Amino acid sequence: MNKGLKIFITYAHKNSEAKDELITSLDVLRQNGLIDVWHDNEILPGDRWRDAIFNNLADSDILLYLTCRYSLASENCNKELTAALNPNIRVIPIILEHCDWQNHQLSDFQALPEKGKPIYDINEWNPESKGWMSVVEGIRKVINEMQSQAKPSPSVTPEEIETLASLAFHRGNFMMILGQIDEALKAYSRTVELSPKDVAAYNNRGAAYINLDKFDKAIVDLSKAIQLNPDYATAYNNRGTAYIRKGEVNKAIKDYSKAIQLNPNYATAYSNRGAAYNIKDDFDSALRDLNKSMEMDPCNASAFNNRGNVYVNIDDFDNAINDYNTAIKLNPDYTEAYSNRGNAYRDKGDIDNAIRDYNTAIKIDPNYSTAYNNRGNAYADKDDLDNAIKDYNTAIKLKPDYANAYYNRGAVYEEIDKIDLAIEDYTKAIELKPDYVKAYRDRGNVYREKGNFDSAIEDYTKVILLNPNDAITYYNRSATYYTKGDFDSAIEDCTKVIQLSPDSAQAYVIRAQLWLYMKKWEKAKSDFITAQDLGMDLIAELHNDYANVEDFEQKTGIQLPADIAALLTPSQT
């Protein structure tokens, strides 16, 4: 190794003078190119201090922990130590004073000065510079040893491998807590490399992949954990979450059910299964599971949030808001609950309160793309379309694969007659979500508005394939066929609308008009009479497009039979 080793100094700020003394004592090693020293005074104005600390720590070879009662009690010092529990980082405690370090996790490491005698004990080191010299000599030996080892010794005992795997695993857990998911993945991968049958490592790496939206990789790891331990309820629950995020709801429910079978008191699995049932519109099962979860764990904020979502879906907005309130009380930084409560307010028509909740969610997490998208919807409700588009733009910037945000922005572009931009956004939403029914339907409407009837029919047909009971789309496709002059196809679609919605007077009127064009007088008359019986004012309907029967006959060239003309003519009373 020709490159100097990087040394990271962990210390309590009450020991700043000791830190400076250590740096001075190590300066000859630095001058000789053997080391490079980093500590938090190196952080520049404007740097994110936590990122700077842990990025530099991850890149270090040696951690020097200045040990005293203050550092042992310091949360930051101990977080840095935990992050350094990594096979690639050598941890060396430097004992400054008599303290309880031998009952701390530092006791696992050989300390300096020699025999762990505290530097500030005048009876051991007089003058104290002798203590610092002992530290320097010890570090020099470590550097020589590390530089002489071009590769790790192949003769590592099983016990040493187990220790390294455990250190890597705990480092992964700590990186997850810090939100440094990529570093956690590296640590868990190292654990798996050292210990290929470590069930917890596969499970936790799977959970990390879920955090990165890498659901297929998560499922592979979680399936491996289940293969190694078929009774591992946590892995089933986590794999269920990966499936739900992929949109495979039935598989998710199966996994959550297995987790509950293995652990009947698994409150989180009940909550997650309830959320899955909600997606399937099985609201009774969803409420049953969520209530069960709350009985087991009354402080589970996620269960209250999930039950709030169910209440929204059944239009019980007041109960939904109450549940979101409880979720937020239990977890004041619960961004999803704020955003969902905003949705409930919006559904109630209380747009101002909705926007306030979205603002709070964004304040807590400025990178929360969902809240920007939802706030964009609220601005659109207020006809503040400029701000709506700004929020959709931000949501898409934060999450470039956010299909809903593209769709919503497309709807606003359509409203302001930017038709080409609307089509572009609907198309992107469909690329990201190939079964996006609303995007196909609305793009079909825009194509129809542009006069691109074939593309409109193609999109309506896709909607019908995805949702064969979509009466509105049959109606729209019928109208498009009518405009093209394909009356047979238009009648076929109108007939389907009537089958799906027997009370649709408008569908009977449209079909009656089509029968007129085809001179099927009895069928036309029957449909007009049915529409009239359903409450349709036939004369008013005729006047939407024509002044009267004579105007209709003149413009269409169709001579109506007397009985049909009478139906469409005001009575002379």
| Axis crossing angle, helix 283-296 with helix 301-313, rounded to the nearest 10 | 160
Task: Please report the pLDDT score of residue 121 as a whole number.
Answer: 87
E strand residue ranges, 68-121: 90-95
- Give the three-class secondary structure for 12: coil
For 323, the token pair is 């549940």
Confidence band for 149, pLDDT divided at 50, 70 and 90:
low
CB 303 within 8 A of CB 271: yes
3 in any annotated domain: yes
Q: Which of 311-320, 346-355, 539-548 is predicted least confidently?
A: 539-548
Task: Please report the pLDDT score of residue 47 as a whole number.
Answer: 66
What range does the domain containing 63 cover?
1-155
102 in any annotated domain: yes
The set of residues, in sequence order, having a beta carbon less than 8 Å from that of 23 and lying 6+ positions away, is: 9, 37, 39
- What is the C-alpha to C-alpha distance for residues 226 and 230, in angstroms, rounded to an integer? 5
CB atoms within 10 A of CB 265: 10
**For the domain that residue 58 is a member of, what is the CATH number?**
3.40.50.10140
Per-residue pLDDT, averaged over 199-221, amounts to 92
pLDDT per residue as tens digits for the range 152-182: 455 667 888 888 888 889 988 888 888 888 8
Helices (H), 452-520: 453-466, 471-484, 487-500, 505-517
Nearest to 165 by CA among 119, 220, 134, 205: 205
- Give the three-class secondary structure for 94: strand
pLDDT per residue as tens digits for the range 15-40: 889 999 999 999 898 888 888 898 88
Could you say which DSSP state residue 100 is in?
A: S
104 vs 522 pLDDT, higher one: 522
Q: Is 136 exposed, middle or buried (0-12, 13-18, 19+ CB in 10 A)?
A: middle
Residue 478, pLDDT above cutoff 50: yes
- Give the three-class secondary structure for 289: helix
Nearest to 313 by CA among 353, 286, 273: 286
130 in any annotated domain: yes
Confidence band for 150, pLDDT divided at 50, 70 and 90:
very low
Radius of gyration (Cα) for the chain, nearest Å? 35
Task: Please report the pLDDT score of residue 3 as a whole number.
Answer: 61
CA angle 197, 199, 200 (to 5 degrees): 135
Point out which residues pair with 35 in neighbouring strands.
5
The set of residues, in sequence order, having a beta carbon less than 8 Å from that of 175 and lying 6+ positions away, is: 83, 181, 183, 184, 187
Could you say which DSSP state residue 44 is in?
A: P
- The CA-atom distances, in angstroms, between 487 and each of 222, 449, 482, 512 are 55, 19, 6, 11
Task: Please report the pLDDT score of residue 58 as a whole number.
Answer: 77
Name the strand (E) or helix (H) holding 123: none
b/e sequence 167-182, b meaning 16+ C-beta within 10 Å:
bbbbbbebbbeeebbe
Give the predicted TM-score (pTM) of the model.
0.66
525 in any annotated domain: no
Residue 527, pLDDT above cutoff 60: yes
Residue 468, pLDDT above cutoff 90: yes
pLDDT per residue as tens digits for the range 416-448: 999 999 999 999 999 999 999 999 999 999 999
82 in any annotated domain: yes
Strand order in the sheet with 35-38: 35-38, 5-10, 62-67, 90-95
453 in any annotated domain: no
Task: Please report the pLDDT score of residue 32 as a whole number.
Answer: 83
- Give the three-class secondary structure for 67: strand
Q: How far, in whole angstroms, is CA 525 from its chain's centroid?
A: 55
| Percent of the chain topping pLDDT 70 | 96
Confidence band for 151, pLDDT divided at 50, 70 and 90:
very low
Phi-psi domain of 284 (left: phi exceeds 0; alpha: psi -120 through 50; beta: other): alpha
10 in any annotated domain: yes
For 168, the token pair is 């890597």
Instruction: Please give the mean pLDDT across all residues of the chain.
Output: 90
Q: How many domains does the chain have?
A: 1
Task: Please report the pLDDT score of residue 521 as a whole number.
Answer: 94
CB 389 within 8 A of CB 376: yes
Per-residue pLDDT, averaged over 366-384, amounts to 95
For 435, the token pair is 């079964």
The set of residues, in sequence order, having a beta carbon less than 8 Å from that of 346 and lying 6+ positions away, is: 354, 374, 377, 378, 381
3-state helix, strand, coil in the chain (%, to 5): 70, 5, 25
Confidence band for 87, pLDDT divided at 50, 70 and 90:
low
131 in any annotated domain: yes
Point out which residues pair with 8 in neighbouring strands.
38, 63
CB 188 within 8 A of CB 201: yes
